[in-house]
């Protein structure tokens, strides 16, 4: 199984992000059902190792939190743009969850992730077709003020990735709940009710 750990996006956010797609011929836009924020790419594992990963992630405890999507950008390799993304504002809670996922997976026997955590949602992938860099830069500039409303993160998900001819299909395998914060107690109101 080809696996990764990610934050799933609510339907309304997927729809909103899908409106950003378009305006760049030759770009492969990601289907809205595949939008996610990768916390840790795992890769190909045999079934018994996938079970160990599941057990490690199931033991993880972290609080629920909110995140906000903000801005767009690109990743490049050897001077060529390879993908277009929407950024995710980093927060201590997001970094905490990502670090706990990384630690849990290392304890399950996986090697440490060498890439730096750069939270984002991939919108498009660019092949070697030579889309002019100026057109990509103009698209980024036209959409860079994108901001979402804060989004509640109440779980994270272990996904499998099924490679297809056009795009991979991402299948949510297991959702792991995050702890909801306890509501603040109003001791004075409690005393009135009890007294």
The reply to whether 36 belongs to the active site is: yes
With a CB cutoff of 8 Å and minimum separation 6, the contacts of 137 are none
Judged on CB neighbours under 10 Å (0-12, 13-18, 19+), 34 is middle
Active-site annotation holder among 11, 120, 143, 155: 120
Active-site annotation holder among 36, 96, 143, 155: 36
SS3 of 179, please?
A: strand
Judged on CB neighbours under 10 Å (0-12, 13-18, 19+), 185 is exposed
Residue with tokens 């743009």: 81
DSSP symbol at 26: T
42 vs 65, 67, 144, 191, 194, CA distance in Å? Answer: 24, 23, 30, 51, 52
The reply to whether 143 belongs to the active site is: no
Just list the catalytic residues.
36, 120
């Amino acid at each position: 199984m080809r696996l990764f750990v990610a934050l799933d996006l609510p339907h309304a956010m997927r729809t909103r992000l899908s409106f950003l797609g378009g305006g760049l011929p030759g770009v492969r836009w990601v289907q809205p059902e595949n939008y996610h924020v990768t916390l840790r790419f795992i890769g190909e594992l045999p079934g018994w190792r996938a079970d160990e990963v599941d057990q490690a992630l199931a033991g993880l405890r972290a609080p629920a939190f909110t995140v906000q999507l903000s801005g767009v950008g690109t990743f490049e390799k050897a001077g060529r743009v390879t993908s277009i993304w929407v950024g995710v504002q980093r927060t201590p809670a997001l970094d905490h969850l990502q670090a706990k996922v990384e630690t849990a997976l290392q304890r399950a026997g996986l090697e440490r992730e060498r890439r730096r955590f750069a939270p984002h949602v991939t919108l498009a992938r660019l092949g070697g077709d030579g889309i002019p860099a100026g057109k990509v830069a103009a698209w980024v500039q036209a959409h860079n003020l994108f901001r979402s409303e804060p989004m509640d993160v109440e779980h994270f998900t272990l996904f499998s990735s099924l490679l297809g001819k056009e795009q991979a299909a991402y299948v949510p395998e297991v959702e792991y709940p995050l702890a909801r914060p306890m509501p603040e107690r109003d001791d004075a109101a409690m005393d009135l009710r009890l007294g």
